[in-house]
Structure 1
């Protein structure tokens, strides 16, 4: 009995000390110092200097909707556009998720709720909600998201009031089917 409780205690101690890697950090490669050089290598057409960059999460939807497709990503802001890309671990390159020409944006808005914030970019047929994450991944960096909003706002894009949070699709819920066995 004493050895079982010892092993249980040891098991709980080991499990409580374990740290897991945030999912976004595990799926999107990002090193702040190397990022601009790597991105220019992967996007030779990117000629203007990168003003801001970082790790992010992106939801792509249609205007008037409050839910859309969810991506872990990195972003790079230049004077003319916002480049959002994923990471292809097979080819060791960034792959484009979306490119936003700042002159094509119709409106932008900023939504904040507790520690969560979103920069909402509205085009004619597309709505994007971008949240900047800390470099280590796993947590939204509200201050960096607001700095990105302010930088895009300074380009002259009209600012509108946000209609609320844009959400990723709801996870599938397990279906519970009761099984009734008659007594015999």
Structure 2
């Protein structure tokens, strides 16, 4: 057993190096709840209406009726007239637009709900957004904030429809298994 002693520190260091305590969305999207409304208005000067709701989010953008689309970590800002979804450019230290939705252009909204997984689905003529609010610290879905966003949009008179199911990002490429068949030779 004495031959394992030199391997113990190396094994322990390898295991601890694999631990990641920061969620990926928090690492890629800057969000400070108190400063966000003033920061987003500074980055988007044409956003003149007061921000009524905001937070960290994830969004999938697709075409109406689709169940897959590109996935983005984001922040959102809701005003009386629109929903602004933005990413973060760490090089320029500013928010960049992912999508801008005029509430008057929305045809329907729906809420997909399965246990803690909740998703507001906003459908325009040629675009569909599936937005999920995240907690401020990132990494986990904030179901209550997602429902609050849905209820606010519903209160603006947008037509509510039944959700067709969750909208997901495309499946990642997986490994391809090729079976190798070795014929048995009779002796």
**Equivalent residue number for residue 63 of structure 1:** 64
Indicate the larger mover: 15-24 or 118-127.
15-24
Q: SS state of the match for residue 59, structure 2?
A: strand
Q: 2-side partners of 1:17 and 1:171: how far apart?
A: 22
Q: 2-side partners of 1:67 and 1:14: how far apart?
A: 35
What is the number of residues matched between the two proteins? 184
Q: 2-side partners of 1:133 and 1:178: how far apart?
A: 42
Alpha carbons of 1:176 and 1:85: their partners in 2 closer, same or farther (altered >3 Å)? same
In the TM superposition, residue 175 of structure 1 has moved relative to its aligned partner by: 1.5
Q: SS state of the match for residue 73, structure 1?
A: strand
In the TM superposition, residue 16 of structure 1 has moved relative to its aligned partner by: 9.6
Q: 2-side partners of 1:114 and 1:12: how far apart?
A: 37
In the TM superposition, residue 89 of structure 1 has moved relative to its aligned partner by: 1.0
Q: SS state of the match for residue 167, structure 1?
A: coil
**Equivalent residue number for residue 139 of structure 2:** 138
Q: CA RMSD in A?
A: 2.4
**Equivalent residue number for residue 41 of structure 1:** 42
In the TM superposition, residue 176 of structure 1 has moved relative to its aligned partner by: 2.4
Indicate the larger mover: 7-16 or 54-63.
7-16
Pairwise mapping of residues 29-178 of structure 1 onto structure 2 (< 5 A)? 29-178=30-179
Deviant stretches of 4+, over 4 Å: 178-183
Q: 1-side partners of 2:17 and 2:27: how far apart?
A: 21
Q: SS state of the match for residue 60, structure 2?
A: strand
In the TM superposition, residue 181 of structure 1 has moved relative to its aligned partner by: 7.4
**Equivalent residue number for residue 7 of structure 1:** 8
With normalisation by structure 2, the TM-score equals 0.89
User: What are structure 1's unaligned runs of at least 5 residues?
Assistant: none
Alpha carbons of 1:8 and 1:182: their partners in 2 closer, same or farther (altered >3 Å)? farther
Deviations for 1:30-57, whole angstroms, at most 9, x for unmatched residues? 1111111111110111111100000000
With normalisation by structure 1, the TM-score equals 0.91
Alpha carbons of 1:13 and 1:125: their partners in 2 closer, same or farther (altered >3 Å)? closer
Deviations for 1:68-123, whole angstroms, at most 9, x for unmatched residues? 11110000000100000000111111000000000110000001111110000011
